[in-house]
Chains A and B, each alone.
Chain A
Amino acid sequence: MKLKVKLVSHLRKYGKGKLDSRGKLTVKDGLTVKELLDYLEIPPEKKVIVLVNQREASKEHQLSAEDDVVIYNLLLGG
């Protein structure tokens, strides 16, 4: 299935060579959020937030075709 994945700002480095120019990614059906993060090689100790269609998703959440996935990490700019 295809997902639209957006890695925000300083997380973009994890998408290099994996996402196409439109931010699309082809993965196996039924992939979980955790499996996606592992595929992108985002270190598990890094606190990233995953939004699927603008809703927070748990690591166990199972993704569906054409999901809009946004992954970000806050440095807590003040």
Chain B
Amino acid sequence: MAEKVFGYAGKQLRISLTEGKIREEELDPKMLRKYLGGSGYGVKVLYDELEEGIDPLGPENKMVFATSPLTERQVPGGGSLEVCFKSPLTGTWGEARVGDEFGFAMRKAGYDFIIIEGQAAEPAYLLIDDGKVEIKSGEHLLGKSSSKKAEMIGAEEGADFSTLAIGQGGENQVLYSAIMINHRAVGRGGAGAVLGSKNILALSCRGSGQPEFADKDKYMDAVKTAHSKIREHPDTGDFREHGTTGDMGGCDAAGDFPTKNWQSNSWGKGEELYDYFYENNLVDNKQCYKGCPVGCGRIAEVKEGKYKTPAHEGAEYETMSAFTAFVLNEDVDVAVHCDYLCNEFGIDTISTGAAIAFAMECYENGLLSQDDTDGLELSWGNSEVLPLLVRKIAAREGIGDLLAGGVKNAAEKLGGTAHEYAVQVKGLEAPAHDPRSGKALAVSYGTGSRGSCHIHPVEAMGYDAGKMDFELSDFGLPDPEGVDRWAEKGKGTVVKLLQDGGTLPDIMGTCKFMFYVGVGVKDYAAMLSGLTGWDIDGWEMLKIGERAINLQKLFNLREGFDREDDMIHPRMGMQPKFGDYQDKPDCAIADFSAMLDEYYQERGWDQATGRPTPEKLQELGLA
């Protein structure tokens, strides 16, 4: 009998598709306090169990669906799930987080973690109903959209199941396809393609149990403190009313708004685009799980016209920026429509918008012609082609097949100057935040374990361009008020701590946005102590974050990624060609390599290779 660990459901489920075997495994208590859950636990499993150099779309790849004790409804942001895998888009460590109810359902069904390995012989879906687990035929789901698959399973099995499903993008192995749940996405890096490669079209789960807490009073006291901080935070109301999309104007003003495939960091249209969205497309705000104290989700629609689109969840800042500023499109209705299509097809909106922007610049420079684009005119701002390209990418049809492999792969195929227009790090298309608004973001883009993503590096942007400290000043973070956002010295140093703290929500199975409305590492440590009975503090939490980042680094090193792969794309630091910052040379990056030196020094990583030193590995218990 395994030692009882409070706060955890207590088991992991391993589904071996090739053999059709399903088994429950006990959790190792020693591993839990060291790696906690989410992407911390996931990287430990995948680092230990995956062989170097495996095909991410082969049966050798594995997926870990991970929660933590903090995946609880009372915990701010507790409605979360982390999915870990080797990315088919980048070949690096892959992880993506999603909100909604699936994480709760897993724990109620008795599982903190689900490991999926091998490959099913026929299309299938997984049904987890408390302790009963089945691999069921999914032939009838083939070719259906993500929401249709979930609807069909709900009709067959019961509406109280929580369902993750891929769309046609995952079936067609679009390398940045997502796994969807109610139009929210396990978005970046191609989780949908990996699940599709395993012939699994959906996972449905429901449960009736409840993990046992060590000290419920202590836990609830910490929960109340955290909720009170959110209620009192001056940004909570604006976040609820405007969501992430409301940042289009602010980011544009800050020079944090990549425009025309990163040719500028501002456009001057972000505010008016958002105003149109607010007046015409926004239906309501939405909690992604019942009980969220913020409810930043958006319900958006296009009421009428050529791009009439039903009310759906999405149209977040990143998506709206990708389908407007990235491609110089001023038609907000088209952007909302593309958001809907991406969700239905189950493809990542950021990578899709970035791939289209890349194609437009290739077209402008003669690397693509109408012979290559199925006759489409890929000129900047041509809004009519956007939905057509989304459909082609999801179907891997014509030009869509090239773009479905991501911009790095597409640039290698096109040759010439195409690599100059493929704005990515480690193969992950860059999102809608711009290091020319503050240089710390450049370091976090370069060194992010899954590449230049929109989640892990954002603290660095918040620190430099938003002057936020996320309560990490208690752990040594310098006051951002005294820091010049365009200074380069010192940024490598602060990014280490920002990353160690900023990766914790992905390990804790919580929503990162709670950090932005006043809940800090200490608050989560207090809640976790009540749940588990551990006497854990913020310092130990940060060490868990640091350990996960170092193990992700070892994963990437094993796959052959080195210092060169931690360099940013030149576009991220170049002088803007137009916009408000065109004549502000300080916003361009002068010496990224020096910032990387400083970061490696702070991390305890070898300057030449980026490998954690033996002393660092010893310190983290990874030797």
Secondary structure at the B interface, as helix, strand, loop or mixed, is helix
Known contacts A49-B254, A54-B580; A76 and B234 CB within 8 A of each other: no
B466 touches A56 (CB 8 A): no
* A-contact 0/1 string along B445-477, CB 8 Å cutoff: 000000000110010011001111000000000
Which of B24-32, B237-245, B489-497 participates in binding chain A? B237-245
Known: A49-B467, A54-B584, A56-B485. A77 touches B235 (CB 8 A): no
Within A18-76, which residues are at the interface with B (CB < 8 Å)?
43, 45-47, 49, 51, 54-56, 58, 70, 72-76
- How many of chain B's residues have a CB under 8 angstroms from any CB in A? 45
Interface pair B461/A43, CB less than 8 Å apart: no
A70 to B249, CA, bound (A): 11
Q: Quick check: is A17 within 8 A (CB to CB) of the other chain?
A: no
CA A47 – CA B517 in complex, angstroms?
A: 11
Q: Does B516 lie at the interface of the complex (its beta carbon under 8 Å from any beta carbon of A)?
A: yes
Given contacts A47-B466, A49-B465, A77-B317, contact A10 B242 (CB under 8 A): yes
Contacts of A76 in B (CB 8 A): 244, 247, 458, 461-462, 466, 468, 513, 516
Q: Are B234 and A45 in contact (CB under 8 A)?
A: yes
CA–CA, A52 and B428, complex, Å: 35
Per-position 1/0 for B317-338, Cβ under 8 A of A: 1100000000000000000000
For the complex, give the distance between the alpha carbons of A49 and B458 in Å.
17
User: Do the beta carbons of B455 and A9 come within 8 Å of each other?
Assistant: no
CA of A34 to CA of B359 in the docked complex: distance in angstroms?
46
> Are A75 and B239 touching (Cβ within 8 A)?
yes
Q: Which residue of B lies closest to A77 (CB)?
A: B317
Inside 8 A of B485's CB, which chain A residues have their CB? 56
In the bound complex, CA of A73 to CA of B253 (Å): 10
Give the chain B neighbours of A43 by CB distance below 8 A: 234
Would A8 and B238 count as touching, CB distance under 8 A? no
> Which B residues touch A74, using CB under 8 A?
247, 250-251, 254, 256, 461-462, 465-466, 468
Taken together as a complex, chains A and B put the C-alpha atoms of A56 and B254 apart, in Å, by 9
Question: A73 with B462: in contact, given A6-B253, A78-B244, A78-B454 (CB under 8 Å)?
Answer: no
Interface residues of B in 546-603 (CB under 8 A from A): 580-581, 584
Interface residues in chain A, defined as those with a beta carbon under 8 Å from any beta carbon in chain B: 6, 8-10, 43, 45-47, 49, 51, 54-56, 58, 70, 72-78
With A43-B234, A77-B316, A77-B318 known, 16 other A-B pairs at CB within 8 A are: A8-B250, A8-B271, A49-B465, A49-B466, A54-B255, A54-B581, A54-B584, A56-B484, A72-B249, A72-B254, A74-B461, A75-B246, A75-B250, A76-B462, A77-B247, A77-B432
Give residues in B with beta carbon < 8 Å to A.
234-235, 238-239, 241-251, 253-256, 271, 274-275, 316-318, 431-432, 454-455, 458, 461-462, 465-468, 481, 484-485, 512-513, 516, 580-581, 584
Q: Supply 27 A–B pairs (Cβ within 8 Å), ascending by A.
A: A6-B253, A8-B253, A9-B248, A9-B249, A9-B250, A9-B275, A10-B242, A43-B234, A46-B234, A46-B235, A47-B235, A47-B466, A54-B584, A55-B584, A58-B481, A72-B249, A73-B250, A74-B250, A74-B465, A75-B238, A75-B239, A75-B244, A75-B247, A75-B516, A76-B244, A76-B461, A78-B513
